[in-house]
């Protein structure tokens, strides 16, 4: 029996679905996928159109609503919303350091995890759609970030299930390899660094001082992880959100405390750094990150830690060289590096499986350019100008490649515009797919 919960202004209903681990073997092993239905209070019995929300990631569970908060407030005016915990996340059958050893060794774990990409997520959604809406039912899709990648896969594999689709900050390059993605990403991250240091020039010296300290002796984080120089640089992931630069500055403000042995990195700072760097809450983000770009028709080789390989082409990200040259130390961005599977306790048990995934070649394609070129589904996308996480040039090329896709290019919001705009981003996209804007 479904559990129903009431919060101010909303009614929440739990749903749990059995889906095949491998959709190519539908009678084989089954896993569970959880979804939460959200409807405005008083509209529970109305025949409302459905909106399926696909969260960013990979490996991100759907948000946990607190009444009519964030973009949900606008969505619930018109829709019955389904928040999907994509396979392996949240209340779906979990995939993490605690559960994956039950599969066997690293090879068995990697083979299992290969079934957790966008194509499987879309096929899960199609099974769920048919159960909730019936064989002929259609729903509207809202994809944020990686959810937008999944939206392009949905339009490629099962457009018949969609009434309309909306994407925010998630138009992937259809023909971009993992190396292409990072080769375009590092210059964007450089610009975000420059903007941060222009806003907070005092942080140039603050960052250099921390790097000098960590270069002599990495610090231990509260969870037993290790804050090395590269790990500290990875805090640059924060620079891609609207308030991320400010949050990073405030974190740096708390860096030092005078203890019995003199100045040392404060517990407040180390706890804050851990909150940003630990993958305990979303290990699949790290494990699967580069595999989301694997497509045999684009690159038949392995992704092979593309972010690490391409980084060598951008020496400005060498922190020790920056110290030597008297230059600002550059933070990195949305990159996953092999050393993370050594410094993060949540990832250490998964390092061998992650290595096998990095070595895996011949990934099946995720997008069908021919199907997208003849698309009949109304699609609207918010493209955030100079988005740190998704390349604008890739996004605009995809706009040209998907028939009927309308794009709104804006620099009013960063990558998190859907969440922080008070419903403005979603409202515009809704009006666009309806032909009202």
* C-alpha span between 378 and 402 (Å, rounded): 10
Give alpha helix (H) positions in 134-228. 146-157, 178-199, 202-216
Q: What are φ and ψ of residue 286, in 5° steps?
A: -80, -45
Residue 261 has pLDDT above 90, yes or no: no
Q: Is the pLDDT of residue 405 over 90?
A: yes
- What mean pLDDT do residues 27-37 have? 98
Buried b (16+ CB within 10 A) or exposed e, 13-33: bebebebbbebeeeeeeebeb
Residue range 320-333: average pLDDT?
Answer: 97
Work out the percent of the chain whose per-residue pLDDT is above 90. 98
Instruction: Specify the DSSP class assigned to residue 61.
Output: P
Tokens of 15: 């749903």
- Give residues with Cβ within 8 angstroms of 299, minimum separation 6: 177, 178, 179
Bridge partner residues of 14 (DSSP): 36
Residue 2 pLDDT > 80, yes or no?
A: no
Take residue 189 and report the two structure tokens written for it.
């991250």
- pLDDT, mean of residues 53-70: 95
Q: What is the pLDDT of residues 191-242, one digit of tens each?
A: 999 999 999 999 999 999 999 999 999 999 999 999 999 999 999 999 999 9
Q: Which two tokens stand for residue 300?
A: 């038949």
pLDDT exceeds cutoff 70 at 82: yes
pLDDT the model gives residue 393: 96
DSSP assigned state of 300: -
Residue whose pair of structure tokens reads 């939460």 in the numeric block: 36
Cβ burial of 256 (10 Å; 0-12, 13-18, 19+) is middle
User: 52 pairs with which residues across the strands?
Assistant: 82, 141
Strands (E), 249-345: 256-259, 262-265
Q: Which two tokens stand for residue 2?
A: 């479904």
Average pLDDT, the chain: 97
Residue 28 clears pLDDT 60, i.e. is over it:
yes
Query: In angstroms, rounded to a whole number, what is the distance separating the alpha carbons of residues 405 and 174?
Result: 14
Looking up tokens 């949905």 gives 154
- Give residue-wise pLDDT tens across range 338-375: 999 999 999 999 999 999 999 999 899 999 999 999 99
What is the structure's pLDDT at 171? 97
The dihedral region occupied by 304, where left means phi > 0, alpha psi between -120 and 50, and beta the remainder, is left
**Domains of the chain listed by start with CATH number:** 4-174+367-433 (3.40.50.1820), 178-359 (no CATH)
Task: State the catalytic residues.
Answer: 145, 362, 415
Given a cut of 60, is residue 260 above it in pLDDT? yes
Q: How far apart are CA 127 and CA 17, in angstroms?
A: 9
Radius of gyration (C-alpha) of the chain in whole angstroms: 22
Residues with Cβ within 8 Å of residue 156, at least 6 apart in sequence: 366, 367, 368, 371, 372
Quickly count: other Cβ atoms within 10 Å of residue 368's Cβ. 18
What is the b/e burial string over 191-224, where b = at least 16 CB atoms within 10 angstroms of the residue's CB? ebbeebbeebeebeebbbebbebbeeebbebeee
Statement: the pTM of the whole predicted model exceeds 0.95: yes
pLDDT at 1 over 90: no
The whole-angstrom distance between residue 400's C-alpha and the CA centroid of its chain comes to 24
Measured CA to CA in angstroms, residue 297 lies from 37, 300, 391 at distances of: 37, 7, 20
Contact 236, 189 (CB under 8 A): yes
């Amino acid at each position: 029996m479904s559990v129903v919960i009431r919060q101010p202004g909303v009614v929440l209903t739990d749903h749990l679905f059995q889906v095949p681990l491998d959709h190519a073997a539908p009678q084989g092993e089954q896993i569970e996928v959880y979804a939460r239905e959200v409807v405005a209070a008083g509209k529970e019995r109305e025949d409302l159109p459905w909106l399926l929300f696909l969260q960013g990631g990979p490996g991100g569970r759907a948000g946990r609503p607190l009444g009519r908060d964030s973009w949900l407030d606008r969505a619930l005016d018109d829709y019955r919303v389904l928040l999907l915990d994509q396979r392996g996340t949240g209340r779906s059958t979990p995939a993490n350091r605690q559960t994956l050893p039950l599969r066997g060794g690293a090879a068995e774990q990697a083979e299992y995890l290969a079934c957790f990409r966008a194509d499987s997520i879309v096929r899960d959604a199609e099974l769920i759609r048919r159960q909730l809406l019936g064989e002929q039912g259609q729903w509207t899709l809202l994809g944020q970030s990686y959810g937008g990648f999944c939206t392009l896969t949905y339009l490629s594999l099962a457009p018949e299930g969609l009434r309309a689709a909306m994407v925010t900050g998630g138009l992937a390059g259809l023909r971009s390899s993992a190396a292409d993605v990072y080769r375009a990403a590092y210059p964007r991250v450089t610009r975000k660094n420059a903007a941060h240091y222009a806003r907070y020039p005092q942080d140039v010296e603050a960052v250099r001082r921390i790097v000098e300290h960590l270069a002599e002796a990495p610090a231990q984080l509260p969870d037993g992880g290790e804050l090395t120089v590269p790990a500290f640089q990875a805090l640059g992931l924060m620079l891609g959100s609207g308030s991320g630069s400010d949050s990073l500055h405030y974190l740096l403000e708390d860096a030092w405390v005078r203890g019995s042995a003199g100045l040392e990195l404060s517990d407040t700072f180390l706890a804050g750094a851990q909150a940003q760097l630990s993958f305990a809450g979303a290990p699949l983000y790290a494990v699967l990150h580069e595999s989301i770009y694997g497509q045999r028709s684009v690159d038949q080789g392995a992704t092979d830690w593309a972010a690490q390989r391409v980084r060598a082409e951008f020496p400005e990200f060498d922190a020790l060289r920056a110290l030597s040259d008297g230059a600002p130390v550059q933070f990195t961005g949305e990159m996953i590096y092999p050393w993370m599977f050594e410094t993060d306790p949540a990832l250490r048990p998964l390092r061998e499986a992650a290595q096998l995934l990095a070595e895996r070649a011949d990934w099946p394609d995720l997008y069908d350019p021919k199907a997208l070129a003849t698309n009949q589904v109304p699609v609207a996308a918010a493209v955030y100008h100079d988005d740190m996480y998704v390349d604008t040039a890739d996004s605009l090329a995809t706009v040209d490649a998907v028939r009927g896709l309308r794009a709104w290019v804006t620099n009013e919001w960063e990558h998190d515009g859907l969440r922080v705009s008070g419903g403005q981003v979603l409202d515009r996209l809704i009006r666009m797919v309806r032909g009202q804007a």
